[in-house]
Structure 1
């Protein structure tokens, strides 16, 4: 995942429903993909619980069968491609600019982002919604120290299958290096293969001859490429696969078009509606703006055209 920031998703209609009167006759449940029917009853909004744009996104991750189906689909499809990638000796999932040496003959590995790719941090996001807070390093570090994040559906089966074929799992994360011990303990407890401490490439990892730009991962991908032939990359953000030089909607779209045929072959994207670098791209990456100013920019980005 890229820099840890809380996404403010599209404003939920749940708060409007909370103001509805109790009705005498319960409304029929809507069919799949149909517009929701009016609520039959509505509980009073808990005192002190403010509106939060991330409510529906966090609930979708935590409660929907669709989210679990989506992550399982990604990992099962990737497993089906693994043997073909192993057999092709020139197969590599690093872009040419980040492959500083020949990959032929190197042992195989896959690169996996950690947060919302391997581990589910939705309880942390839920706490922020509950408390009306935004991401900060203190609360984030405290959550990581709990070591209680669960694995995404499908990831353990894939990682174990890859490891059984001699593929090293590299965890290339924007969790800071000082969170290494807690992260590796959490991964092991979740059932993920962890060869040794070297497989964790956190934010702050030194890479000789490469200057890291913020939380971009290009230097650490180069480091991985020095030791391994990278068969696949997994992430929930575009920056988990390639350096995002211009974090604007146009710049991100250009990268997607450039590497479109890598997805579903070398690169595997996991769904994450709760936060991501796509969000600050909508307000010029200016996190110092007040929350409502950022929200206003996002409203303006809505496309209402048919």
Structure 2
């Protein structure tokens, strides 16, 4: 936007006969408009998550559908929702559980995303941790009713999250304030939770799912990322499809996938997982990934 330049107005005299009119004072230049935040590609996604009724209906639909099937899964001793790589202990005699991701699955962090859009910022661990410690995240539609229903029927509710483990106190407090069932500190398996003998790579959840498998028969899993259900060995479009190829029959019965257009592993898959690439290059590679016919 170009700056406004002040206009120098020369005083002029208007002669009427021999009388002269007084000169007009110079006009005060208008202040420049307030600076606007740069356009942010996440604006539509965040606006949709916060304002679209369709967003809420998808969540309600998923959780209601899961609830309608939960008791049947409970009473089927052969029912288990862990991928074969994660089921490292037999299910016989194990108590039942449901496993849920936290962010954008049971807790709504769209205000944090909205702040980034408004201020032209990007995700960083410090601002994210500060948001989590505010304990202001709201419940996702349908999540509270489902988890309360599960707990009422003796089904443990396990929150398997990539929030850092040292955010456990704030996270569990936020969940409790909203009425989510929390059996204790062990209900939160955050990033940094150790499963002996299992090497966790990055933010993969496989080791923590193995930890759960030693204690519970898992009836259902919920998440907004593929990594909430199975480890993705190659984060490419083809690799992501391959990771779930053997579990398509579980979608909507054992695995319940929720929408998240604001962030996720789907995004870096579009630019070779190279977060060090300049933003303009990342954006160009996203444009290159679009299909036009």
**TM-score, normalised relative to structure 1:** 0.84
What's 2:122 paired with?
Answer: 134
Tell me which of 18, 43, 61 is aligned to 1:55: 43
Using the TM superposition, give the Cα deviation of residue 191 of structure 1 relative to its aligned residue in structure 2, in angstroms: 1.2
Tell me which of 224, 229, 233 is aligned to 1:241: 229
What's 2:15 paired with?
Answer: none
Aligned mates of 2:34, 2:155 — CA distance in 1: 49
Aligned mates of 2:157, 2:273 — CA distance in 1: 32
* 1:182-215 deviation line (CA, Å, top 9, x unaligned): 0000000111000000010000001100000100
Aligned mates of 1:191, 1:52 — CA distance in 2: 34
- Which SS does the other structure have where 1:178 is aligned? helix
Q: Which has the higher contact order (CA 8 A, sep 6+)?
A: 1
What's 2:204 paired with?
Answer: 216
Contact 2:230 2:244 survives alignment (8 Å): no
What's 2:273 paired with?
Answer: 285
What's 1:8 paired with?
Answer: none
What's 2:167 paired with?
Answer: 179
- Which SS does the other structure have where 2:214 is aligned? helix
Unaligned ranges ≥5, structure 2 = 1-32
Aligned residues: 261
**Are residues 168 and 47 of structure 1, via their aligned partners in 2, closer, same or farther at CA, if it must alter by over 3 Å?**
same
What's 1:75 paired with?
Answer: 63
What's 1:268 paired with?
Answer: 256
Using the TM superposition, give the Cα deviation of residue 48 of structure 1 relative to its aligned residue in structure 2, in angstroms: 2.7
**TM-score, normalised relative to structure 2:** 0.88
Using the TM superposition, give the Cα deviation of residue 97 of structure 1 relative to its aligned residue in structure 2, in angstroms: 1.3
* Correspondence 1:88 to 2:73: no
* Correspondence 1:194 to 2:182: yes
Unaligned ranges ≥5, structure 1 = 1-44
Aligned mates of 1:104, 1:165 — CA distance in 2: 19
What's 2:21 paired with?
Answer: none
Aligned mates of 2:37, 2:83 — CA distance in 1: 45
**Are residues 275 and 255 of structure 1, via their aligned partners in 2, closer, same or farther at CA, if it must alter by over 3 Å?**
same
Tell me which of 78, 81, 94 is aligned to 1:106: 94
Structure 1 runs (4+) deviating above 6 angstroms are none
Aligned mates of 1:48, 1:142 — CA distance in 2: 25
* Correspondence 1:295 to 2:275: no
* 1:47-99 deviation line (CA, Å, top 9, x unaligned): 23110000000000001100010100000000011011001101000111111
Aligned mates of 1:63, 1:189 — CA distance in 2: 23
**Are residues 257 and 115 of structure 1, via their aligned partners in 2, closer, same or farther at CA, if it must alter by over 3 Å?**
same
**Are residues 229 and 94 of structure 1, via their aligned partners in 2, closer, same or farther at CA, if it must alter by over 3 Å?**
same
Using the TM superposition, give the Cα deviation of residue 46 of structure 1 relative to its aligned residue in structure 2, in angstroms: 6.1
What's 2:220 paired with?
Answer: 232
Aligned mates of 2:121, 2:216 — CA distance in 1: 41
